[in-house]
């Protein structure tokens, strides 16, 4: 079971009010992205986690600029379509699971 891949246009067309979700930014030729994606698939399969969609950063210029995605892999945690945290260091499936299950108010500031 892989992550649901979407286009930037499809992602931006859907209303996102009162919803927590995550967007995984990657590129097809990035080896680190493939490792991170595998860990993310494991974490996202656990109960109680927010849904995760995958975007090819090369074809997401609007979101990449708007959210200031500095590098890949990157996991943007969203509430109501607005990122409240961008995760770049994907150390383990356990860390990713914790990020995907936390509510915004649980996130540290900064």
Q: What is the pLDDT of residues 40-58, one digit of tens each?
A: 999 999 999 999 999 999 9
Taking each helix axis from N to C end, the angle separating 31-44 and 93-101, rounded to the nearest 10 degrees, works out to 60
pTM for this entry: 0.88
Tell me how far apart the alpha carbons of residues 76 and 69 are, in angstroms, rounded to a whole number: 9
All structural domains of the chain with their residue ranges: 4-105
Instruction: Residue 100: name the closest of 51, 54, 63, 55 by CA.
Output: 51
19-24 mean pLDDT: 92
**Superfamily of 4-105 according to CATH:** Glutaredoxin (3.40.30.10)
34-39 mean pLDDT: 97
Confidence of residue 30 (pLDDT cuts 50, 70, 90): very high
């Amino acid at each position: 079971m892989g992550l649901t891949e979407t286009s930037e246009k499809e992602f931006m067309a859907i209303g996102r009010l009162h919803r927590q979700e995550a967007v995984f930014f990657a590129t097809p030729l990035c080896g680190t992205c493939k490792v991170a994606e595998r860990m993310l698939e494991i974490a996202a399969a656990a109960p109680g986690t927010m849904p995760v969609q995958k975007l090819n950063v090369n074809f997401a210029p609007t979101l990449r600029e708007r959210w200031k995605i500095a590098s890949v892999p990157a996991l943007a945690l969203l509430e109501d379509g607005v990122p409240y945290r961008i995760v770049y260091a994907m150390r383990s499936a356990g860390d990713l699971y914790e990020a995907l299950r936390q509510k915004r108010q649980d996130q540290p500031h900064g």
